[in-house]
Every structure is written in structure tokens, then in C-alpha cells.
Amino acid sequence: MRGMAENPSPPFFVSTFSKLPESLFRAAEPKRVASPKAILLNNVLAAKIGISAQWLHSTEALHALVGNQALPEVPRIAMAYAGHQFGNFVPSLGDGRAVLLGEINGFDLHLKGSGRTAFSRGGDGRATLSAMLREYIMSEAMAALDIPTTRSLAVIGTGEGVPRERMERGAVLTRVAKSHVRVGTFQYLAARGEEATMQALVDHELAKNFPDAPEGAGRFIWFLRQVIARQATLIAKWMCVGFIHGVMNTDNMQVAGETIDYGPCAFMDAFDPQKTFSSIDHTGRYAWDKQPVIALWNLTRLAEALLPLFASETNAAITLAEAELKNFMLHFETAFEAGMAAKLGFAEIREGDADFIALTLQNMANSKADFTTFFSTLTEAVKLDNDKKIVHFFNNANAATQWLESWRKRLSSLSLNRMKTANPNFIPRNHRVEEALAAANIDDLKPLHRLLKVLSKPFEKHEGDEELALPPKPDEEVLQTFCGT
């Protein structure tokens, strides 16, 4: 990590969210820390959003990104929202350990782990170094896989302990997002009967993240339509890389269409459609194959909150909302089939492909094939014209022969380039993430940087780092993940 530079001129930050009605936020004063230290600084992301590396590495940035000082002319606020958590509605949640620092070029900067706020409800408002590094790893891996996601600009160590099951090191993450407005934000306003504020919030999101929005009363149902389409595509992209979010509560669904809140999330190793990782998901509510259904459930809650904006008569508003919600599964299935077809090497979708995709997944489930390695090996099999590389992923030789014959017949319009960009060699394997976090906690950042290097270019080979692509051995497998709060 480079040393801190002298203070250059800071980037120009604004705060459009703080111009909205005050019920949407509370003023926040992060807890000062005495000895902040930069652990990770994301120069590539900084350049993308218009922050200079000189400022990012400055002493001023260090103190701003740990919460010690505010940015010039920009108020720090904690955002209000409600949410259904595992199906149970909580009318007031909000940023209990996070602060909206400001916005630059349309991107929010949000501090996570910066101390108690008006919404903390008994929590300490802090975050552990392990949890913040984990979010950095996962979000940056998702970005490299071309999956819409919030990203991580910095992890700053606080130099202070955080009590969890044991005392852990503290840290603050700077999260970058198109928006931090969630389904739960609209639920919060609906529960309070704040229709005018809800209208203002929709208009804020339309101006910030939906540039093609129409004018007039029809913009509200149009907004719902766009959120539905973005979420359907997002969930399909998750599932095409074996990603399981883990806590798809309505307060963890961002309306701009990015993946947000990396808690007990994980990428599958051995394929199991009912796979969960979260230590608190006892019923499998957020399993891999349940994610589309849960997304639709969440979007239905959004539609309910927005009903008063659709039409003055309730039944008319419900009819409009239902017509939009019916399109979710069609959007999802189209996006998922297109993604899986690319993974299989098909240049386009044809009749019968949905059945073949289902057959492929069933064979993988039967043999517990490693999700990522199956498809990366399939890409190699095409390049080398060698089917033997894929046979061992099946339960028996007969199943392999039948599947390969059907697949080869379907490859009449092969798209190898699509396969190469749909089938990563590297994902953040759970055991490798845990290995990097354990080392970081004893001041060894080499495994972390090695892992981040391959994850930044997941479709490449990375000579010398091939072991990071391998599935875990039985004694390395991570069976549960935790939210870190």
C-alpha cells in the first residue's frame, strides 16, 4: 500500500438525497477513530467514478473514508427504510451502521461500519475487517464477471477492536453504488402513508438512474416495469455463475438493479439447486433455485407500496401492477436461458434448448458436479475437440454419452467466444476467501492480493495461480457463511 500523500484538492461531491423530504434520512455523525490505516484502495474504480488516485491516497481521503471528517459542503446522513426480513415485516430499519457520505458523478459513496446512527437499535454500528474485506472481494469479483453490482472503493482499518463471538479487528468499507434506495425504502414510506414523499423518491430515482423515463402520471408504472426487468436480468446473471445471495430481504434489493449487501453470500462449488449457505436460512428460503420466486415476491411488495401512485382507484391500480408483475418470470426465463445457452456454446436460443438446459442441470445435480469447473472444462473440450475431458462430470458413462451426443448435435452454430466470456475459470471460492481473510487478520495481505488479481480477470488462465481455480477438497469445503454483524 502506498503511503498517504499530501492533501490535494478533493473531488467535487454533492448530496442530492439530502434534498429529499427529511423523513427519508437522519443526520449522522460517524464515530471517530484514532489510528486509521488504509488496507485496500481501489485505484481502478476511483478512476472510473472520477476520483484521482492522488486524492484517494491522501490523508484527507483516509479520514473522510473512515468517517473522521465530512466532505466539504456535503452532509452525512443515515438512510431510512423498512423491510421484510425472512418474510417478516419490520416497519423501521434504516442504516444502523452506515452513512451516505456523498455523491460523485452520479455514484453514491457509502461508509459501512462507521458507527452508530439513529437506526442502530442496540447494535454497535461497527464492522469487522473480515466482513468488509469479504464484501470487497465478492463485489469486485461480481463486477469482473459483468454482473451489475455495488462496488468497493476502500477498506480502512480502524485500529480498534470489534466484539463479536471474539474480539475482532474493525474496519470501514466505502461502498460505491448507483443508488442505495431499496424496495424497503418505499415500504417505509407506504407504512407511514407518505404518498407525496414516495412520489418525490420515485422522481429522484428516475432522474438519477432511469434516463429514458417518460413524463406525466405514467412514469410511476413505467418505473415499476423497469425495476422488474432489471431484477429479472440480475437474478438470471447470479444463477448463471452459481451465486447465492443469502439474504434477499426487501431491504437488500436495490431498485437500480445492482447486487447489494454482501453478507452470507457465496458461489456454489458442487451443484445443488437447493443449496443455501447462510447460517440463519433454516428453511431454504433463499436457496439458489428459489431466488427468482423471492425476487418476484419482493417486487410484489414494491408494487403494493407504489399502488397509490398508479391510479386513484385501488382496483385499477392493482390491475396495472399485476400486469407488470406477470412479466417478471418471462424476463427471467429469457435472460437465464440466454445465459445458459452462452455457457453451453449455443450461438442463439432454439426450440428445445430450455429442456436441454434443464437436462444439463439435472445431470450436474445427480453427480454433484462442480458448477464452475464443469462449464470451464466444457469450454476446453470445445477448443480441443476432446469430449473425454467432460465425461467424469457425469454419474455414469451412459448419461455422459447421451448428453454429449445431444450437445454435439446442438453445436451446429457454435459460439466459442460466447463460451469464453460466459464461463469463468476463477470465482471467489469460499475456502480461498476464508484463507485470504485469515491471513489478512494477521497482517499478511499476500493471499488477498493474489486472489483479487485472478478475480479481476476471471476468464483468463493466470499461469502459476491455477490452484485458485480448483474446487475445495472435502476438508476445505465451507458449509455455512455468516452476515458479520
Residue from 390, 344, 399, 343 nearest 366 by CA? 399
- E runs forming strands in 347-473: none
- 151-163, strands of its sheet edge to edge: 25-27, 77-79, 98-104, 107-112, 167-177, 151-163, 37-41
End-to-end CA distance of the chain: 27
Radius of gyration of the chain measured on its C-alpha atoms: 23
CB neighbours of residue 463 within 10 Å: 6
Please report, to the nearest 10 degrees, the dihedral formed by the alpha carbons of residues 85, 132, 458, 408 taken in order.
Answer: -20
The C-alpha cell that represents 121 in the structure block:
437499535
Residues 472/372, Cβ–Cβ less than 8 Å:
no
Q: Exactly one of 95, 108, 251, 370 is catalytic; which is it?
A: 251
Report the distance separating Cα 340 and Cα 359, nearest Å: 12
What whole-number distance in Å separates Cα of residue 309 and Cα of residue 222? 11
353 is catalytic: no
Give, in order, the Cα–Cα distances in Å from 121 to each of 136, 209, 317, 476. 26, 31, 35, 37
All cell numbers assigned to 21: 423530504
- Say if residue 389 is exposed, middle or buried (CB neighbours under 10 Å; 0-12, 13-18, 19+): middle
Using CA atoms, how far apart are residues 36 and 468, in angstroms rounded to an integer? 31
Amino acid letter at 51? I
What residues pair up with 90 in beta bridges, in sequence order?
A: 83
Rounded CA gap, 258 and 241, in Å?
A: 16
**Nearest of 36, 34, 266 to residue 129 by alpha carbon:** 36
Question: How far, in Å, are 215, 462, 473 from residue 467 at the CA level?
Answer: 54, 10, 12
Spatial CB neighbours of 11, under 8 Å, sequence gap ≥ 6 = 50, 51, 52, 55, 104
| 72, 169, 437, 438, 448 from 443: Cα distances, Å | 33, 11, 10, 9, 11
* Interatomic CA distance for residues 122 and 111, integer angstroms: 19
3-state secondary structure (DSSP) of residue 174: strand
> Which residue has cell 451446429?
412
Tell me the three state secondary structure of residue 154.
strand
User: Which are the catalytic amino acids?
Assistant: 251
